[in-house]
Homo-oligomer: A and B are copies of this chain.
């Protein structure tokens, strides 16, 4: 079966994160640690935090970040309706300039859903 957008993204991300760690100074390493910490369960659930990260990524229009948080939202059990409502907030806040990223967000989500159905 052909590798989808999620699979190729995940492999490339892992390969390049290793390269970043090879060159990283302490500031970069600590930033990576902080980036994990921010999404841990707390007063807000990790699912809610991943939705926050998703909307932030959509309005800042970063496809890789959107894809990453789509995978995390799916892993935390977000439903399609929850995902779309979060993306809709991002669309209204960020405007039509986010639409190309919204399209690719939905494509990634749809690919994850198809993969689940095939399991």
Interface of A toward B, CB cutoff 8 Å:
13, 16-17, 19-20, 22-28, 30-31, 34-35, 37-39, 42-44, 48-49, 51-53, 55-57, 59-65, 79-100, 102-104, 106-107, 109-110
List B contacts of A37 (CB < 8 A).
26-27, 30
Q: Are A96 and B103 in contact (CB under 8 A)?
A: no
Q: Which of these, B43, B55, B62, B99, contacts A85 with CB under 8 Å?
A: B43
List B contacts of A102 (CB < 8 A).
20, 28
Copies assembled: 6
Tell whether A59 pairs with B97 under 8 Å between CB atoms, given A103-B13, A106-B19.
Answer: yes
Q: Are B35 and A80 in contact (CB under 8 A)?
A: no
List B contacts of A19 (CB < 8 A).
103, 106-107, 110
CA–CA, A87 and B28, complex, Å: 8
